[in-house]
Structures are given as C-alpha cells and as structure tokens.
C-alpha cells in the first residue's frame, strides 16, 4: 500500500480532542504531544519519541501536484542520496485533496532520514506536513497516524509562512535543523607558516574514528561513516571520509576529500580548508553524483588523553559547535561536546584517498 493510502485509509477519527497545528486542525493520536515551533508551525511527537509530525503554515497554491513536486524536489536535492516511491493522490474524508510521498534520504554526514512529505489542499491553499521516523520499527507504525490524518481540516484565515516550504522553510521533524548549504572552497589559499615547534605538537599524525547506527534486534543498519585526519609537520592536513548508506542504501558510498592548512597556538588548533570535494559512488566505484559538503574553517580546543583500557592515546577536539565534517559528538561524559579520534585505528576505506 502506498504512503498516502496508508495515511488516509482509515475510519473517521473520534471527535472531541481537536487541536490546532499551524494552518490545520486535527484529532491527534492518543498520547501524542503537540508543541508550537519558532517558525509559527507545530510539531506532534509520539510517546516513544521516535516519530515526529511537523505542520507548516499554509501557502497559497491552486495546483497541489505542482506545489508538491517542487517541494519534493527541494527536499531530495538537500540530500546526497534519496530513494523514494512515487507520490500518491487521495482525497481525505473531510473533503480536502491530499498528496504524499515517502523516502529514505541520506545527508552529507551519512545521516539517514526516513521522511514522509504530505500536503492537503482546498484548491486555493496548501498545508505542508513532514513526518520523520527514527527507525524502520517506527515506520511500521505509520498506520497509527491514519485516523488523525483523516480528520484534518484547514483553518480559515490562518497566517502565511515566514518562509515558504520549498524556499528553505522546512526542517527535520526529529532533528530540528536543515542540511548546511553546500559550497566549494577555492584551492588558492596561501600555505600557513610552519610553527618552529611543529615536530613537537601532539596532534601531528593520523587520527581516525568510525560512527554507525543500527537496530540490533532487527539486524538493520542505518549506515556508517569512517573518517581520518592526517596532520603533517609542514602545516598542512588531509581529511578523508567515507559514508555507507546501510541496509536501505547498501550500494551507496559518499566520499569526501579535504585538504588545507592548520595553525596552532596554546591549546587552540585551527583547520582552514583550501579544497573540499564530495562524490557519490556505487560499490563498484562508478560515480553517481557529485555534491560538495560545507566548507568549514574551525578552531578546536585540542588535547590528547591516554585510555589505559584501550592502551591508546586519543586526540580530543572540542569545537564551539558541532561540525558537518566531524558529525555527532562522542558519547564520553569526561569529554562533553567533543570528538575523540583514535591513534591506533587504521580504517579500511573502500575508496582510499588518492
């Protein structure tokens, strides 16, 4: 059954618990919590916290299909990989026209997002909705949303959006943010002067880390990423990363290569990219697309620490905020909001840096 057919193929919702979410009203599923959002929209989250349903302000549009196709194009283009079934049209029981499409999308960090874009229209206005499922198990509970979806009505005279959905007005329902804008760094920066004590700096050498997400009980992988820094004594560095799409995109690799200059003083380490490239390949190495990741000049606070249990020294990098290059922070309470990179770990890249 298609996404829309599931979403609206249900008996009418029971009356008596109607709430207003941005430009619509509906009967929410039992136990779901509604919260307003800074952009004027609203978000419903299920009790388990693994499904989030975002509602955005209504937009003027006379053709639902034209609006939806543009919104879907923008949503997919913000990712380096998008796999989806065809969108589906079905009227709701409240007399609105509905359209929805679902897909698995992978961002530039290798993060997997299971998204369902839906919209309802009365022929003059469109109410956009975006639903995110944290896992395959969560997606199996899509039917839980059907009665609420079937109860949706448009609010008369509701306020318009601060920014249209297809013009950057959307965000991940679970994560809250949107992918960073992509750009390419010019390869023209002057090399940084080499510190006189470069050979004595503790961060020199190769440091690597692997990140992954999975569902152990269902043997489902939600992807992984491995990356490595090579800080050289001449004041330059190289960075290479490889993301794999996991169970839902097993024939997919996103490879990033970055080079640039580093400078250091005290416990501060600044990396300044001069060239950043990103390419999507299949497992055979054939190029599928090219997508440059964000260019990030970042100053980290650095330190090294020895883990006696691992018998390994690790490099701790603490930036002012999470970076796209490094992904999610390590889950080590002793080093909050930091990245821990290993000295003994030698990743086996499928497509090593040239």
DSSP one-letter code for 55:
E
Consecutive sets of 10 residues in the chain, 354 residues long: mean pLDDT of each? 54 66 93 90 93 94 90 85 82 90 84 92 95 90 90 89 85 74 45 60 94 67 89 94 87 93 92 92 90 86 93 95 88 93 92 84
> Is residue 172 included in any domain, yes or no?
no
Last residue of a domain, one of 146, 167, 188: 167
Specify whether 241 is located in the same domain as 302: yes
Measure the CA–CA gap between 32 and 20, rounded to whole angstroms.
Answer: 14
What pLDDT was estimated at residue 219? 65
Instruction: Give the H or E element holding residue 72.
Output: helix 64-77
Domain limit, last residue, from 167, 189, 207: 167
Does 86 fall in a domain? yes
Please, are residues 53 and 145 in contact by the beta-carbon 8 Å criterion?
A: yes
Is the residue at 203 inside a domain?
yes
Q: CB-based contacts of 350: which residues, under 8 Å, 6+ apart?
A: 242, 253, 283
Question: E strand or H helix at 136, and its extent?
Answer: helix 136-139
In this structure, are 161 and 202 located in the same domain? no
- Say whether both 154 and 214 belong to one domain: no
User: Which domain-ending residue is among 124, 148, 167?
Assistant: 167
Token pair 């990098």 is found at 317
For residues 158 and 238, membership in a common domain is answered with: no
In a domain, 181, yes or no: no
* Domain that includes residue 96, residue range: 3-167
Instruction: Give the per-residue pLDDT at 179.
Output: 62
142 and 210 assigned to the same domain = no
155 and 8 housed in the same domain:
yes
Interatomic CA distance for residues 185 and 315, integer angstroms: 26
> In the beta sheet, which residues pair with residue 298?
271
Establish if 184 belongs to a structural domain.
no
pLDDT at 13: 44
Same domain, 120 and 253: no
| Nearest to 293, CA basis, from 106, 71, 75, 70 | 106
Residue by residue, DSSP assigns 2-50 as -HHHHHH-SPPPPSS--EEETTEEE-PPTT-EEEE-TTS-EEEE-TTSS
Per-residue pLDDT, 137: 86
Per the structure, the count of domains in the chain is: 2
Question: Residue 214: beta bridge partners?
Answer: 221
Residues 148 and 204 in one domain: no
What pLDDT is recorded for position 5?
55
Residue 163 shares a structural domain with residue 206: no
CA distances from 114 to 50, 143, 319 (A): 11, 15, 29
Pick from 314, 301, 239: nearest CA to 272: 239
Q: Count the neighbouring beta carbons within 10 Å of the beta carbon of residue 41.
A: 23
């Amino acid at each position: 059954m298609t996404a829309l057919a599931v979403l609206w193929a249900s008996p009418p919702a029971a009356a008596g618990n109607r709430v207003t979410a941005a430009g619509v009203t509906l009967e929410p599923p039992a136990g779901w919590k509604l919260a307003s959002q800074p952009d004027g929209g609203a978000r419903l989250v299920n009790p388990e916290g693994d499904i989030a349903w975002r509602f955005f302000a209504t937009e003027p549009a006379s053709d639902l299909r034209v609006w939806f196709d543009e919104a879907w194009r923008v949503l997919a283009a913000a990712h380096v990989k998008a796999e989806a079934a065809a969108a589906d049209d079905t009227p709701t029981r409240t007399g609105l026209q509905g359209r929805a499409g679902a897909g698995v999308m992978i961002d530039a960090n290798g993060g997997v997002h299971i998204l369902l874009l839906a919209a309802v229209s009365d022929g003059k206005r469109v109410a956009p909705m975006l639903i995110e499922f944290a896992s395959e198990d969560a997606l199996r509970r899509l039917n839980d949303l059907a009665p609420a979806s079937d109860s949706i009505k448009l609010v008369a005279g509701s306020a318009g959006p601060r920014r249209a959905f297809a013009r950057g007005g959307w965000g991940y329902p679970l994560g809250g943010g949107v992918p960073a804008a992509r750009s390419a760094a010019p390869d023209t920066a002057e090399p940084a002067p080499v510190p006189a004590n470069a050979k004595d700096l503790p961060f020199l050498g190769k440091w690597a880390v692997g990140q992954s997400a999975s569902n152990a009980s269902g043997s489902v992988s939600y992807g992984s990423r491995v990356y490595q820094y090579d800080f050289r004594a001449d004041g330059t560095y190289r960075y290479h990363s490889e993301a794999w799409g996991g169970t839902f995109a097993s024939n997919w690799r996103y490879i990033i290569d970055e080079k640039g200059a580093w400078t250091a003083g005290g416990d501060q380490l600044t990396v300044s990219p001069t060239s950043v490239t990103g390419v999507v390949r299949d497992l055979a190495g054939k190029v599928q697309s090219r997508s440059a990741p964000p260019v990030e000049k970042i100053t980290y606070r650095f330190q090294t620490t020895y883990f006696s249990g691992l018998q390994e020294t690790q490099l701790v990098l603490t930036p002012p905020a999470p970076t796209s290059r490094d992904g999610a922070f390590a889950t080590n309470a002793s080093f909050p909001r930091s990245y821990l990179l290993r000295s003994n770990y030698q990743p086996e890249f499928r497509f090593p840096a040239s």
